Amino acid sequence: MVSYAYLNEADFSKLATCAESWKLMKKKYGGIGEQFEQQVVKRLQTTWEGDAATKAFHHMSTVTKQYVAAGTEAARMGKLMAEAHDEFTTARKKLHTLQEDAGTDHFKIHDTGTIEDVDPMWDSPTASSQPGWAEERRRKQEGFADRLEQVLRHATQFDQNYAAAFKSDFNGEDEQGFNKSGYSSDDQAREAQEEADQAAKLIDKDGRLTETELNQLDSFLAEHKGDPHFAARFAQKAGAEDTLDRYNQIINPPQGTRLTDAQLKRIQSLQGNLGSTLGTATTVNDSAMYKFEQDLLAATDRNFNANPTESPYGLSGYQLTSSLMSQGDWDDNLLQDYGEKLIAKEQLSAGFQNPDAIWGQNRTVGITGIPALDPMTGFMDALGHNPDASLEFLDGSTHTDGGESVDNLDYLMKDRHWPEGAGFTGDDKNPDGISTLGHAMESAATGMPYDYDGPTMPPHTPDQAGFVNELVSTLGTSENADLINGDGRLAPIKDSLGEITANYMGDFQQSLTTVDLPINGTHVGGSDGIDRGDAVNFLSSVGQDPEAYKTINAAQLGYTQGLVDESLAHRDPGAGFDRMQDRVINLTAPGSCISGIMSEARAEAVYEHHVAEAQDFNNATKDVNRWVGYGVGIATGAIASPAAGSAVTVGYGELSNLVMGHIQKDNAAEGDFEARDVYASGQKSHEVMINTMVEKSAGEHGYDEYEARDMADTAAREAKQSFSSGSDLAYGRG
């Protein structure tokens, strides 16, 4: 994390100088390119003809493009440098403002970031013993500490984001960079090619690999898995079928083998590195890689047997391919083709075999636990890591050999029988294969890999918003209630649906109010928004999962706090107290309604459907801080750019504590579930959350102590009613 001392003392003027140098470099590259075109190319074109000239002019054309690309990349670097300078300079100004405010209030900020109360009144026993004085000083000190943490946290986000920007995209942001190899020297490039050849030879070697050779192969792949040149050369030299054969051999040691922990970890590492390397290779656009991809698709139809004397069938090419695809980034078109082939394969046998038999009959998983017998699980994880492919596939359909068209999402969500058990999922901690469908849904809905945990999210596109609208309208209707309610077949994906809901918190709150609310990108459901009834039904069922309950509550609270802060921070100077109080009430109402829906969902999960225990909800506190932050970001506009939006007056840590406190107190409805007339504890804890947030925000944005308290008390009372309305909506649905 960026330290107080560094931000306070760093000289950012060098960034501005560097930015100007890069901008000047763009002009120089442009000048060199123009000179090359005028003084070399055009002069030679008037006198030189023949085959040699044709080849030379083709090369010169490439050189001209490289000068243009170099100038483009220089401009990009200059732009990044200038933006970084502006962001860090702004952060330091905020820090200096904080220093001045703290000094005025007699607080000293040390180089370590520690804030010390140096008010001279402490030296006066009479003054310092005044009622409430010490408590007031403590609150002020905590307030400055929260502000300091916020400034440093934002500076850290800038630092991490720009570090990633400068380190990444060595090909140029539009794939036309002037150094597409990404190597700093010819020797480095040559060494990578030699290692790709060595890795391919290990794949094609007769017999099993020794421990030394396995380590060598893993080392080569780990070092170069993100290098498209290495990956493509390796894949083309090794060949698709031989690669699957070797992979099958690696994950299936001979019967009687006893693997050490280190050996098992190395096999797992090879799975990840080989899958990532092949995925990178498929993103290279040339004819040799197209052949590799076609060979890979063809190889899925054959069986691979590492131990033919012990098992007559071995593993299917589908099982091996899905296992590798679950790792890394793969070409979108290849994923589409493979997914359609996989569904068509299952449809071909659907009349007399379900997926248990198709993939499990006469097949077993070896001592490594790799791969999952159900190849659909690995493919879903592949989509989960490749958002564009996921959205296209789940929005599309498969044409079977029988001439039928199968809606991919309907088949996976409603019709497919998902085999259960660790052997089918490849994960002894997660025996429900259908949970991986949730991973694909997450990436399709958010545009990011399902396991992404960074601080920002891209704005939702029309296609993504349309996909979410389809999910909510499908699963929010009474005719599909059995799919998602209680222990319905989609119960294992509720945690993923909860994360999707959190990412679209603005849209879900908008469905419960007529007040215009901020969203991240395109509105779900267009100008009409999400249907209110569908939203209530969807939330009520999804919230029955402890993880989803936690995620939605955290994002809801963060979003609501962000709304209040933004409204008070940017209010019309002429807006009176009553008008702003009404505004705050309107902004906290939809979030309070969602909190009530979640409370009812929790009660139903524990006492009606018996799909969870109260303690499961109490213990669901992981990543609360992240989801609070996402909610704040959507409301303040900071979700797609950490620099955007205003600072929240209640720190993430405090908001997270409020959420966790609410989660652990929201159980009164469960205690008197039959009567359904006592929601005191959960309702009260939500009331306290709203009161705390509004009072702090109002005080921070210019209202005196009495006004802030009055606004908070009124908003909390109204929130109590909205909470009850949400509970009633959830209870009365369907």
Is there a single domain that holds both residue 362 and residue 474? no
Q: Are residues 21 and 41 in the same domain?
A: yes
Residues 481 and 591 both lie in one domain:
yes
Q: How many CA atoms lie within 13 A of 658 on its CB side?
A: 27
d(CA 22, CA 15): 11
Residue with tokens 């077949």: 489
Both 394 and 262 in one domain: the answer is: yes
Q: Is the pLDDT of residue 168 over 50?
A: no
**The predicted structure's pLDDT at residue 678:** 37
177 domain-assigned: no
Residue 131 counted as domain residue = no
411 and 490 in a common domain: no
* SS3 of residue 608 by DSSP: helix
Rounded CA gap, 391 and 473, in Å? 17
**The pLDDT of residue 243:** 98
Peptide bond preceding 371 in cis form (omega within 30 of 0): yes
The answer to whether residue 166 scores a pLDDT higher than 50 is: yes
Mean pLDDT, rounded, of the chain:
86
Same domain as 412, residue 301: yes
Among residues 444, 479, 513, the one where a domain terminates is 444
Q: What is the pLDDT of residue 477?
A: 92
Range of the domain at 22: 4-117+138-167
Is position 13 within any domain? yes
| CATH code, domain carrying 149 | 1.20.1260
In what helix (H) or strand (E) does residue 696 lie, and over which residues does it extend?
A: helix 680-700
Residue that is last in its domain, among 421, 444, 467: 444
| More confident call, 248 vs 191 | 248
Q: Is residue 129 part of a domain?
A: no
Q: Which of 89, 122, 88 is nearest to 108 (CA)?
A: 122
Cis peptide before 419 (omega within 30 of 0): no
Task: Tell me the pLDDT tens digit for each residue of 400-457.
Answer: 887 889 999 999 999 999 999 988 988 888 889 999 999 999 999 999 999 998 777 8
Residue 529 and residue 506 share a domain: yes
Please, which pLDDT band fits residue 645 given cuts at 50, 70 and 90? very low
Structure tokens at 185: 């020297």
- What does the DSSP 8-state code read for residue 378? H
- Which pLDDT score is estimated for 449? 96
Amino acid at the residue 459: P
525 secondary structure, DSSP code:
T
* CA nearest neighbour of 426 among 475, 369, 357: 369
Task: Report phi then psi at 407, rounded to 5.
Answer: -70, 120
| % of the chain beyond a pLDDT of 90 | 55
Q: How many domains does the chain have?
A: 3
Whether 368 and 470 share a structural domain: no
Query: Are 363 and 326 within one domain?
Result: yes
Reply yes or no on whether the pLDDT at 647 is more than 60.
Answer: no
Least confident of 64-73, 90-99, 315-324, 588-597: 64-73
Residue 549 lies in a domain: yes
Q: What is the pLDDT of residue 348?
A: 87
Q: Model confidence at 133, in pLDDT bands (50, 70, 90)?
A: confident
* Residues 433 and 485 both lie in one domain: no
For residues 429 and 324, membership in a common domain is answered with yes
Do residues 660 and 551 lie in contact, with contact meaning Cβ atoms separated by under 8 Å?
no
Detail the DSSP E strand segments found in 55-120: 107-109, 115-117
Task: Look at residue 170 in the predicted model and tell me its pLDDT.
Answer: 46
Collapsing DSSP states into helix, strand and coil, what is residue 521? strand
Q: Rounded to whole angstroms, how far apart are CA atoms 546 and 605?
A: 9
Q: Which residues contact 158 (CB under 8 A, 6 or more apart)?
A: 84, 87, 88, 91, 642, 643
Domain-located, residue 244: yes
3-class DSSP string for 316-363? EHHHHHHHHHCCCCCCHHHHHHHHHHHHHHHHHCCCCCCHHHHHHCCC
Q: Based on the number of CB atoms within 10 Å of its own CB, is 111 exposed (0-12), middle (13-18) or buried (19 or more)?
A: exposed
**Measured between alpha carbons, how far is 643 from 231 in angstroms, rounded to an integer?**
36
Is there a single domain that holds both residue 305 and residue 354? yes
The answer to whether 575 and 590 are in contact (CB under 8 A) is: no
What pLDDT is attached to residue 234?
97
Choose the final residue of a domain: 409, 444, 479: 444
More confident residue, 621 or 12: 12
pLDDT in tens, 24-59: 887 777 777 677 777 777 766 766 666 556 656 666
Residue 387 within any structural domain of the chain: yes
In a domain, 100, yes or no: yes
**Token pair belonging to 117:** 């109360």
pLDDT (average), residues 333-351: 92
Per-residue pLDDT of 345-378, as tens digits, reads 999 877 668 999 999 988 888 888 888 999 999 9
Q: Which tokens go with 437?
A: 């469908």
- Of the listed ranges 385-399, 465-479, 614-628, the least confidently predicted one is 614-628
